[in-house]
Every structure is written in structure tokens, then in C-alpha cells.
Amino acid sequence: MRLGFAPSRRAATDLIAHGRVRVNGRRYRKGETIVPGDRVEVADTPVAEGLAANADLKVTTLYEDAAVIVADKPPLMPCHPLRSDERTTVMNAIVAAYPETAETFDKPLEGGLVHRLDNGTSGALMIARNREAFVVLREALRAGRVTRHYRALVTGRLDGMIEIATPIAHHPKNPRKMVVVENEASSDTPSAGPVSARHRSAPRPAFTRVEALSYENGFTLAEVTPRTGNRHQIRVHLASIGHPLAGDELYGAPPLEGLDAGRFWLHLAELEFDSPAGGRVKAVAPLASDLEDSLALARVKFEGLR
């Protein structure tokens, strides 16, 4: 018979994950150990979760109006925290400068974040300043009315323009990865196929346009424009045609000199959209310095592209 606040191991894990367990007055994480004499307390109600402001963390603002902010996400900085005690994400910095971006949104730890970028990606990131703008911008994103132009460095030689339209699903064994799903018709519906034993999720339609810009020394610099917004879409689509992003070891590319572990060569350089405050917005994010450095090391020509 189990006693106490948690009738099962899963319930105990949930108590810890939601911040309801304190040891000697400090929040403990799953896996930390306690010793005889420690004081363990469990809150009767969940601890309120929300975005903590971090004024010491600086993130550049590329554009702002009454409805939306476009921030310049640094490489390897997460977009939002996964726990309320995390303070080193883009949203922690944004909330310090724009407190309204943490209010009245469906997911307290994401606030007004309209879309996400992988930790290893840098560049332009949209954040709504009120709920009305959030709804409008999310719908515009889903409907393809937000144009996203990425700069990508891929392994091997690409020429001209390529359209990739292979559906994407979660990898059946590795939760960190996505996979392309061959021989399944894509569509404009939310799902391109049923969940099966081969996938951990229903394959979703995905459309990516890739245009080669320059080539040298085994790499192609390209402009990538996704029409849909699936997890890892650009990464898995490029890997599926044999040209993974430089440095993207998760999808089969070798590490690239000049990039830290977990960083790969992908940058959201331009966002174009209609602001809910009025007017067409074009926000441009300068190429991140580590990508500039790695380009120099790889001797890739990119004159005129900055």
C-alpha cells in the first residue's frame, strides 16, 4: 500500500515536475538525491508557472510596433523555458523588456511566442504583444501568409531551385528526430496519413523551396523558404535529399569548424508579414557572427548576400 501525496511513481514525478516538491526550502529536480535529515515539503496546490523576467539577458529587437516584436534569436539559446525556474531563454529576456508578452496567453511558459526556432538555429523570431495579435499572427502563419527566408549552408553541391514536398513524421525510435515519409500522398489537410506502427505520429504535409546561391569547397549556400512549419522541417528535408545542413550531426552531417556543439548552419534571415497593428513588415536579421566565422573557415563565397 502506498501512502502520502503520490500514489504512484508517475504521480511523484508529476509533483516534482510541477514544482510542488521542496527539499530544505529549495525546489528539487527529478533525479536529485536526498539524505537523512533533509526536510521534504509538498505544496497542497501547484506552484504557479510563468515566464520569469531576466533583465541581465540581452536579446536584440529587430522590429516592434503595438502588436508584435521581432527578436533576433542568438544561436544555442532556447526560445522559451520548459520550467518556470529557467531564466536563460529568449522569452525571459523579452519579458523583462516587454512584460505584456507574458500575459493572457494559453501557454504560460511560451507567452506571446508566435513560432519557434530550434536551439541550433538563429535569426528572426515573432512575439505577439497581446492575445488578439497572437491569434491573428498564428492564423497567418498556418495559412502561409508569413514568408520566412532562411540562409542555409548544406553539404555537397546543389544547383538551381528544388521543391521538396515529402510528408514528415516523428521518428519511430528516436524522439529527438523527424523522418520523411515516402510514398504517402501529401495534402493541405492537417494530416497526410494515419498513425501507423512505422511512425510515432501521423505524417504531416511539408513543403520546402531551396534555391542555391553559391558553391565552393564542398558546400552550397542556399536560400530556403518553407511553406509549412513542421518540427525540423528544413533539417530533415535537406537531409532526405542527401544534403544535410553543415554541422547538423543529428541528421548525418559532420561537425563544421567554427560552430559549437549543437549548432548547425541555419539562420532565419528575413520575416515578411502583415502586422495586426497595420502595414507590411519586413524584418531582417543579420547573419550571426559564428556563421560568418564558419563561412570564412570553409572559404565559401557569399559576397552580396548579407
68: Cα within 13 Å, side-chain hemisphere = 30
- Is residue 274 part of the annotated active site? The answer reads no
Q: Compute the C-alpha angle 231/197/241, nearest 5°.
A: 45
CA distances from 210 to 35, 62, 207, 241 (A): 56, 25, 10, 11
- Say which of 14, 65, 85, 118 is annotated catalytic: 118
Rounded to whole angstroms, how far apart are CA atoms 63 and 258?
29
Rounded to whole angstroms, how far apart are CA atoms 226 and 249?
21
Sign of the four-CA dihedral 229, 233, 234, 237: negative
Give residue 90's Cα distance to chain centre. 11
3-state helix, strand, coil in the chain (%, to 5): 20, 25, 55
Sign of the four-CA dihedral 69, 77, 46, 135: positive
Residues annotated as catalytic (active site), given as ranges = 118
